[in-house]
Amino acid sequence: MVAAVSPVFRARLRIGLLIVFTALVETTLGSDLRVAQVAPDLMVLLVICAGLTGGTESGAWVGFWTGLLYDMFLTGTPVGLSALTYCMVGSAIGALRTTFLQERRALLPIAAFVGTLAAVLLFVAAGTILGQSQLLGGGRSWIIRVMIVESLWNAVLALPAGYIYARVARGSAGAERVGAPIPTRTA
Amino acid sequence: MAVYRRSTRTRNVIAVLVLAALTLVTIDARSQGVGVLSDARSKISDAFAPLQRATHAALRPIGNFLTGALDYGSLKKENEDLRRQLAQAQASQAQALAQQQESDQILRNAGLTVPSGVPGVAARIIDVGPSNFDNTVTIDRGTSSGVAAGQPVEAAGVLVGTVRSAQPHVATVELVTDPSFDIGVALAGGNTGSASGTGRALPLRIRVISTNLKPPQQKVGDVIVTSGLDTERYPRGIPVGRVTKILDVPGAIEPEIELAPLVDPLQLSALEVLLWSPP
């Protein structure tokens, strides 16, 4: 029975469980780890790892479902806002990775820093355009503080998170469609 | 050609997902808290509550350790401040009790009721608002314990927020610092005002309601309490915060007052929901 389940499906299942586990950690431990009142956003870090490991499509899918699950824990913003933001960030990171970014040791922390900055900015901008003006309630200084602290947190946590995601996505031979090795440009 | 097909497929996938997300946002924003998506959110939130509770219990010591390590300096100073405040509070408690008894006697003589003895439900915080743009906490009590949307929430007798939504076993509490939080407060000289949150770690701001009365002569350090007027959602006399700044607004008679919350709910693990509804 177990053998009948395709490796690709198993890999997707593992990624799904990782998303749920990350949501639990984010909503319990993550919110306790506040620096200057700002908590890390582990969900967007997972999405960035998915984009870097699996490319554009994987980044978009993981971003959408991660954001949608995260939206279920938020009460101040409409369902779909995080899904929209994370989907766009995941696919953008994936697209940059497959077309532009070369493999380097510092790639993951830098991508986590820049991707998180973009995610916070996009979340606030998209939310405001879609009528969620309370996101601007804390003022510009609060948004900048959130952007910087969240990005620094994710840059620090990027290497272990990237390692865990790569293990989960590539754990089985058939997981290539989800966690495929990153295509590199050839001359 | 293969590259072209893959690229088109990827673009289509992204377009479909973005459109799906936009559709969900539109549906949820228009339904205003009532509808399929809100129901789904409530049910998922309720279903995850036991897992969250267990994870929180298991991971809280790690969180406390890391938070303690990150904030060691400020925690030490805060501890000293709290010891000093406790000594002051104990000294003034006896005095306050006597004044309260006198105040209650005056109200009874005038034929007015005193909204005391409001029953409460003790609740534990199982989630401290995961988002940095959402000043809420999730508690482990819901409609099955009598909790309902709109009820005031206290910590150590101080107002910390209101119940935003309640599911059978969990409820979301909107904190006083949330920009959408608004409450009527009593000010000096018979004045009243409206205190609003401005964001996490930021002071509340009081807009004084214009009347024929002399503008309130508040001092820095005054404790501001709920007004409990007829149209207000909360009982009278719950402490909300301490005055930290009084700002003169150009062209306005009334000043603008800044208020620091008396407790930081993010540092607490237990709250009390007052099972109170406006008369």
Q: What is the ipTM of this complex?
A: 0.84
Q: Is B18 in Cβ contact with A88 (below 8 Å)?
A: yes
What percent of chain A has a predicted confidence (pLDDT) above 90?
A: 45
Distance, in Å, from the CA atom of B89 to the CA atom of B42, rounded to the nearest integer, reads 41
The average confidence (pLDDT) of chain B is 78
Q: Is A71 in Cβ contact with B41 (below 8 Å)?
A: yes
Look up residue B18 and give its two tokens.
Answer: 């973005």
Distance, in Å, from the CA atom of B13 to the CA atom of A87, rounded to the nearest integer, reads 10
H/E stretch holding B244 reads strand B239-247
The pLDDT value recorded for residue A16 is 93
> Is residue B112 scored above 70 in pLDDT?
no
Distance, in Å, from the CA atom of A73 to the CA atom of B46, rounded to the nearest integer, reads 10
Tell me if the pTM is above 0.80: no
Residue-wise pLDDT for A57-105, tens only, equals 889 999 999 999 999 888 788 899 999 999 999 999 988 888 877 777 7
The pLDDT value recorded for residue B131 is 81
Q: Find chain A residues with C-beta within 8 A of B166's C-beta.
A: none
What percent of chain B has a predicted confidence (pLDDT) above 90?
A: 6
pLDDT-derived band at A180 (thresholds 50, 70, 90) equals very low
The pLDDT value recorded for residue A46 is 95
Stronger pLDDT, B150 or B110, i.e. the higher one: B150
- Provide mean pLDDT across the span B199-227: 79
- Residue A45, CB-side half-sphere exposure with 13 Å CA sphere: 30
Q: Is A28 in Cβ contact with B56 (below 8 Å)?
A: yes
Q: Is B29 in Cβ contact with A130 (below 8 Å)?
A: yes
Q: Which amino acid is at B262?
A: L
B169 and A CB contact within 8 Å: no
Distance, in Å, from the CA atom of A97 to the CA atom of A107, rounded to the nearest integer, reads 10
The pLDDT value recorded for residue A185 is 45
Closest chain A residue to B37, measured at CA: A79
Q: Find chain A residues with C-beta within 8 A of B41's C-beta.
A: 71-72, 75, 79
A99 and B CB contact within 8 Å: no
Residue-wise pLDDT for A1-18, tens only, equals 455 677 778 888 899 999
Angle at A82 between CA A12 and CA A35, to 5 degrees: 105
- Provide mean pLDDT across the span B132-143: 85
CB B252 within 8 A of CB B216: no
The pLDDT value recorded for residue B95 is 61
- Provide mean pLDDT across the span A117-142: 87
The pLDDT value recorded for residue A30 is 78
> Is residue B151 scored above 80 in pLDDT?
yes
Q: Chain A, 117-136: which have a CB under 8 Å from a chain B CB?
A: 120, 123-124, 127, 130-131, 134-135
Among B131, B176, B266, which would you mutate to test the A interface (most chain A Cβ atoms within 10 Å of its Cβ)? B131
Closest chain B residue to A62, measured at CA: B17
Q: Is A28 in Cβ contact with B55 (below 8 Å)?
A: yes
Give me the domains of chain A, ranges plus CATH numbers: 7-170 (1.10.1760)
DSSP state of A25: H
The pLDDT value recorded for residue A175 is 42
Residue-wise pLDDT for B40-91, tens only, equals 888 887 787 787 777 777 776 776 777 667 667 777 777 777 777 776 676 6
